[in-house]
């Protein structure tokens, strides 16, 4: 045994980074292998130095030198280990002893020496790039040209003359400064990436470090939910209040989707016509991913599913009302609403894994799906806006949307086919199997999928809110019991005969997607029955959001109607007037058509009112309408 000054504590050769000898030429390879043998014997402490030197052909002093090199730390704080044994490998950057003077002197290492000798220069460069405290005003887009000017001015203030570096170099150290800035940006990667935009900074902060902590190994174990604004414009044709039929473009619309991490299946999706999608849209997407559905029929000629297309909610694809165990989404307000939280907790029964807003890196599968959906579908439409303003596929989308009358109804049909076909298309990441094929194989292998029990399967459950209201009424004036809810009265047969309940509080189960009927419960939990809205509100199905919008406009004196008027019809007239100049109103008008069937009934009513009484002598004649028919979707 032998003694020497090297500390053996905590030295584990198995943790050292390896070297690929095949990357070396024959001469260097032989040198490296001899050095490695010597170092292994040296740290094993089972042989004397003379024995190691004789076996490896390396002198004792050289063995000590090599051992010390192996224990040096690299820029990441890790021992060089076997990497230090590579012939001619430099472990530390060259450092000058003093700054060069004169034009003819060599400049190697001069810039680093300048920064070491004058720390204020290094501090100035770093402050210019990203600042050292929150009070610093940082020009994130400063380029080397302007940074070099500041650098030169400080050199002058430090007393450096024309005979000193950097003034002795041809470009006054500009190229050295460029290399140093690049090195700094790579060293502080997240900060450096942030200088190229917020998205680059977020991407650098949230990716590329460590390993994925959780991997889905079976269907419905974990899913991802997100929304994407479709890169396509659509138009809407409508009749103005003064009888003119016009076609105008709308704001871009949203598509929300839920994807299964294991199979890559899209479980369900939803199209939102809102300027920004809301909690109701999220609930619709969740419902569509759970409730069983059937293939749709299309009005677009030639549009159809391919033979392997489908959704896991189709009756022949998998278990009914299947639900997932965990869901990932960002911290958008629509995702974190109490209604969405209650749905995921009480109906789905899953855990929630929210991530930061604007961090798509945490949900790569759904983001990649949206990219494919655009590239394979919407970007091929004449009215596409492309992925950015200078995208070559963008060719006057506003004019194209009006020219070809691309409608919201057609966008819905196209989305249905594109997503169903995606589920049936082979993926390279799935070994050339389609998501549905992987799903079917998992089911055949006996994987169990959790489902909602039969007794809890209700379509209205996804949109039910519990609200309390006091029963109103007055025996002295003969006013039977009723309740007020969102600007309307609700009555029912049982309630109207229960005068003794006046003043008591009812619990209401409100279906926010249809306010025409509400289910009421007594204080002891027993069901009182259904209450129906009074007045013209009962004519059309309407949502809680629509009722609130109409009431808000009425309170602001922007919308006027009496108890004899249909509020939704009046709101439609209001939107048609606003739609002449506002895109947002056109989106709302399209949504009103889709949700309430407003235009269909409106045109029927118009046709009935303008049809004149025909003379008795000519009963076979018909008077033509005085305005152009409106195309209804």
Predicted confidence band of residue 87 (pLDDT cuts 50, 70, 90): very high
Q: Tell me the per-residue pLDDT of 56-66, one tens digit each, with 9 for 90 and over.
A: 999 999 999 99
Share above pLDDT 70 across residues of the chain, in percent, rounded to a whole number: 86
Share above pLDDT 90 across residues of the chain, in percent, rounded to a whole number: 51
Distance, CA of 555 to CA of 560 (rounded, Å): 9
Q: What pLDDT is recorded for position 7?
A: 64
Q: Tell me the per-residue pLDDT of 458-504, one tens digit each, with 9 for 90 and over.
A: 988 999 999 999 999 998 898 999 999 999 999 999 999 999 999 99
CA distances from 314 to 30, 292, 296, 420, 505 (A): 66, 6, 11, 11, 43
Average pLDDT rounded to a whole number, residues 178-198: 77
Q: Tell me the per-residue pLDDT of 389-404, one tens digit each, with 9 for 90 and over.
A: 888 899 999 999 889 8
By CB atoms closer than 10 A (0-12, 13-18, 19+), residue 261 is buried
Distance, CA of 8 to CA of 69 (rounded, Å): 14
- Enter the pTM of the model: 0.70
Q: What pLDDT is recorded for position 131?
A: 65
**Element of type H or E holding 237:** strand 235-239
Distance, CA of 139 to CA of 375 (rounded, Å): 36
Residues 6+ apart with CB under 8 A from 552: none
Predicted confidence band of residue 608 (pLDDT cuts 50, 70, 90): very low
Q: What pLDDT is recorded for position 216?
A: 67
88 or 127, greater pLDDT: 88
Q: Tell me the per-residue pLDDT of 95-138, one tens digit each, with 9 for 90 and over.
A: 777 887 877 778 788 888 888 888 888 888 888 877 654 445 45
> Where do the H-state alpha helices sit in 3-158?
26-44, 49-56, 60-71, 110-117, 119-129, 144-157
Predicted confidence band of residue 530 (pLDDT cuts 50, 70, 90): very high
Q: What pLDDT is recorded for position 506?
A: 95
Decide: helix, strand or coil at residue 511.
strand
Cross-strand pairs, 326: 351
Instruction: For 593-624, give one letter per residue: b (16+ CB within 10 A) or e.
Output: bebbebbebbeeeeeeeeeeeeeeeeeeeeee
515 or 145, greater pLDDT: 515
Half-sphere exposure of residue 52: CA atoms within 13 angstroms, side-chain side: 24
pLDDT of 443 over the 90 cut = yes
């Amino acid at each position: 045994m032998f003694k020497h000054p090297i500390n053996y504590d905590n030295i584990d050769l198995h943790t050292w980074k390896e070297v690929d000898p095949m990357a070396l030429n024959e001469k260097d390879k032989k040198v490296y292998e001899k050095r490695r043998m010597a170092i292994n014997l040296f740290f094993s402490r089972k042989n004397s130095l003379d024995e190691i030197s004789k076996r490896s052909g390396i002198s004792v002093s050289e063995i000590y030198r090599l051992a010390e090199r192996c224990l040096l730390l690299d820029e990441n704080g890790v021992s060089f280990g076997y990497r230090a044994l590579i012939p001619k490998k430099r472990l530390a950057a060259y450092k000058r002893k003093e700054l060069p003077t004169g034009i003819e002197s060599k400049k190697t290492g001069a810039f680093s020496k300048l920064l070491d000798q004058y720390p204020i220069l290094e501090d100035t460069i770093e402050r210019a790039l990203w600042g050292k405290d929150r009070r610093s005003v940082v020009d994130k887009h400063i380029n080397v040209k302007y940074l070099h000017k500041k650098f030169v001015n400080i050199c002058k203030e430090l007393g450096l003359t024309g005979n000193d570096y950097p003034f002795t170099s041809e470009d006054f150290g500009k190229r050295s400064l460029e290399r140093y800035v690049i090195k700094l940006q790579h060293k502080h990667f997240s900060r450096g990436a942030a200088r190229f935009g917020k998205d680059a900074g977020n991407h650098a902060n949230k990716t590329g470090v460590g390993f994925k902590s959780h991997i889905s190994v079976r269907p419905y174990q974990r899913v991802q939910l997100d929304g994407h604004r479709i890169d396509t414009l659509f138009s809407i044709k409508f009749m103005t209040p003064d009888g003119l039929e016009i076609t105008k473009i709308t704001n871009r619309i949203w598509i929300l989707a839920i994807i299964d991490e294991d199979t890559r299946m899209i479980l369900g999706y939803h199209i939102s016509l809102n300027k920004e999608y809301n909690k109701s849209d999220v609930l619709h997407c969740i419902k569509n991913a759970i409730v069983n559905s059937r293939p749709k029929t299309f009005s677009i000629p030639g549009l159809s599913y391919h033979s392997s297309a489908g959704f896991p909610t189709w009756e022949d694809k998998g278990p009914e009302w299947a639900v997932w165990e965990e869901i990932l989404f960002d911290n958008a307000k629509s995702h974190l609403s109490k209604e969405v939280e209650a749905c995921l907790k009480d109906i789905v029964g899953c855990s929630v894994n929210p991530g930061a807003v604007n961090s798509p890196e945490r949900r790569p599968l759904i983001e990649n799906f949206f990219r494919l959906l655009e590239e394979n579908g919407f970007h091929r439409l004449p009215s596409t806006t492309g992925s950015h303003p200078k995208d070559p596929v963008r060719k006057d989308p506003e004019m194209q949307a009006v020219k070809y009358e691309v409608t919201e109804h057609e966008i819905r049909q196209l989305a249905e086919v594109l997503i169903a076909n995606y589920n049936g298309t082979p993926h390279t990441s799935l070994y050339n199997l389609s998501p549905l094929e992987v799903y079917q194989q998992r089911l055949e292998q006996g994987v169990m999928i959790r489902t909602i029990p039969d007794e809890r399967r209700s379509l209205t459950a996804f949109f039910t809110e519990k609200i309390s209201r006091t029963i109103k009424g007055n025996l002295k004036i003969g006013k039977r019991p009723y309740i007020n809810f969102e600007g309307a009265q609700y009555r029912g047969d049982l309630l109207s005969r229960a005068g003794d309940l006046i003043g008591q509080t009812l619990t209401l189960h409100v279906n926010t997607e249809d306010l025409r009927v509400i289910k009421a419960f007594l204080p002891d939990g027993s069901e009182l029955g259904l209450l129906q809205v009074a007045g013209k509100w009962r004519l059309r199905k309407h949502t809680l959001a629509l009722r609130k919008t109409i009431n808000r406009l009425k309170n602001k004196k922007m919308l006027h109607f009496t108890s004899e008027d249909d509020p939704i019809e009046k709101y439609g007239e209001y939107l048609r007037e606003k739609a002449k100049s506002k895109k947002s109103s056109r989106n709302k008008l399209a949504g009103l058509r889709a949700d309430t069937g407003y235009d269909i009934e409106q045109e029927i009513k118009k046709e009935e009112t303008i049809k004149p009484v025909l003379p008795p002598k000519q009963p076979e004649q018909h008077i033509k309408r005085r305005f152009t028919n409106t195309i209804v979707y």
